[in-house]
Structure 1
């Protein structure tokens, strides 16, 4: 019998990153989209490590990788064909971040890893989920898990906190905005609400009247950049009372990187992201309000150190590179066996 020669692990790879959340494509990076930010951080770190990286992304994107932007009017059903027709020579692996796994579902000849960033079920060969809970719920425990990571150098740390609570995120029911307002009401604390209104009728009918009735509650709209940094780093606490199984919850990591504690409901990936601080996890509004009054928070330095140990762009990239090499080797061996 002919002996199989297992391919050696290559130090430098040619990697194609693909991102598009059609029909509302955002440039990379984006102050509006957490997924775009994660793809940007991963791409830039891969470039820093000397890999040959190509990024397919929306117009207006920027990157140190070789950037290939989509033409105007490109529809989702044509995205995979467009990318495959423009693949660079000697591509080792494709990393599909599209919200519908546009590349992965076509099962291309090039080894393809698909990160499932949102709660959808897609039958692809090599799925990666952003939490163990997401892998369990959406992947039936298939595939692997890689936590999102941030560039902590971009997050301003402050041990000085002001006396306000912060809710930051999309203004929709499932993000728990009504619950955050109820916590502020029960505690008498000032609450600053920041984020885009994604459910206008819900906001007008249910959220806005509560804000108008309470002089301690302020809605300031969408924020980004330095304004977002200042809001987070000086908040006494960030409220994250989600009502659905959110796959990750990047704002929790961003807040702790700034030294700001997060009180969150026990849903989705919250028990994983806050596994080091179980006392910050709440089961209801009453418990969250009690914890706000008690103010038994970890120190800002401990919170920052926690993120540095678990949720950095470098750690995320390490984990993805392990997956890339594993998938490439598995596909190479499978090719030799055919």
Structure 2
């Protein structure tokens, strides 16, 4: 993350408002379905552990150690801004907007704000934060900041015991590369488990289901979370991540490696950054991915786990956001002081 040296005292507690609610499909925090909700939860919890005063605006059913403010039933996206302003605590120093369409950060506010751009959008607030360098390059024209997503590695079960199956885990849509994962399974003769919510029913019915019916080694296990997700991740021989689009981050890659499971991924989006420590796992084509599956030249499970703990934890993510909060608050203070008339 690019920023200047920050002069605000490191120990000073901040008053922070976190805002998340991606209507019409708002998920509670944390969510077994949404990576964004998981990231916001981890950030919020770590901020509270460090003694900061945090208020979290989120969907009903959410849980948090922060001061939790849930939205009323039926509230629309364009109403979030006003609701946050009416209910945020006095003395708030910064607002962190996580909504997909920047419901708060693009508005006139009584305090500075930043906006994490979790998905590709054309409009965002004054201080955009992207989740990878590639996302900042494509969506922000190289402007703004970037902070990698982080996970609480203590919540991910490690295992060096693998059960010989390939795993695809993600939303079932064409751009996620589920068809390409099936091609790898077909070329290698390996078992493939497909996990994730079906977001494109016609695509699934017409193209995925037929391939599954003709190959008993391929099975769709549905959307997963909790213990079932842990078991699938930690015992997979390899996670396939053949994304076809400019994926801003790809949290499941980090989750798999935290469990000691290697990831083979196509060289799109943030993949070269997330897998920078293991360039041998990055693939130029489906054919090359299939060859790598056959070769089975993977890093050790322990090295994969260590890699995540050194780069993609909730603590490292929070460190960077706190530095950014302080920098933005400092800049705002400078602007105000420069705008005041000089004393005689």
TM-score grouping bracket, smaller chain normalisation? over 0.9
Query: 2:109 aligned with 1:108, yes or no?
Result: yes
Runs of 4+ in 1 over 2 A off after TM superposition: 6-10
**What is the aligned partner in structure 2 of residue 91 from structure 1?**
92
Residues 241-290 of structure 1: per-residue CA shift (max 9 Å, x gap): 00000100000000000000000000000000000000000011100000
Q: How far does residue 123 in structure 1 lie from its aligned partner after superposition?
A: 4.0
Q: How far does residue 78 in structure 1 lie from its aligned partner after superposition?
A: 1.0
Q: What TM-score do you get using the length of structure 2 for normalisation?
A: 0.95
**Greater alpha carbon shift after TM alignment, 105-114 vs 182-191:** 105-114
Mapped to 2, the partners of 1:227 and 1:295 lie a distance apart of 25
Task: Find the residue that maps to 1:178 and give its secondary structure.
Answer: helix
CA contact (8 A) 1:120 1:138 kept: yes
Query: 2:264 aligned with 1:263, yes or no?
Result: yes
Task: Name the Cα RMSD after superposition.
Answer: 1.0
Residues 37-84 of structure 1: per-residue CA shift (max 9 Å, x gap): 000000000000000110000000000000000001111111101101
Residues 92-145 of structure 1: per-residue CA shift (max 9 Å, x gap): 110000010111111312110100000112242100000000000000111100
CA contact (8 A) 2:133 2:270 kept: yes
Q: How far does residue 8 in structure 1 lie from its aligned partner after superposition?
A: 4.3
Mapped to 1, the partners of 2:225 and 2:30 lie a distance apart of 12
**What is the aligned partner in structure 2 of residue 79 from structure 1?**
80
Q: How far does residue 7 in structure 1 lie from its aligned partner after superposition?
A: 8.2
Mapped to 1, the partners of 2:122 and 2:320 lie a distance apart of 22
CA contact (8 A) 1:107 1:124 kept: no
Q: How far does residue 22 in structure 1 lie from its aligned partner after superposition?
A: 1.2
Mapped to 1, the partners of 2:293 and 2:161 lie a distance apart of 17
Q: What TM-score do you get using the length of structure 1 for normalisation?
A: 0.97
5+ residue gaps, structure 1: 1-5
Task: Find the residue that maps to 1:105 and give its secondary structure.
Answer: coil
**What is the aligned partner in structure 1 of residue 342 from structure 2?**
none
CA contact (8 A) 1:7 1:332 kept: no
Mapped to 2, the partners of 1:161 and 1:137 lie a distance apart of 37
Query: 2:72 aligned with 1:64, yes or no?
Result: no
**What is the aligned partner in structure 2 of residue 208 from structure 1?**
209
Number of residue equivalences: 333
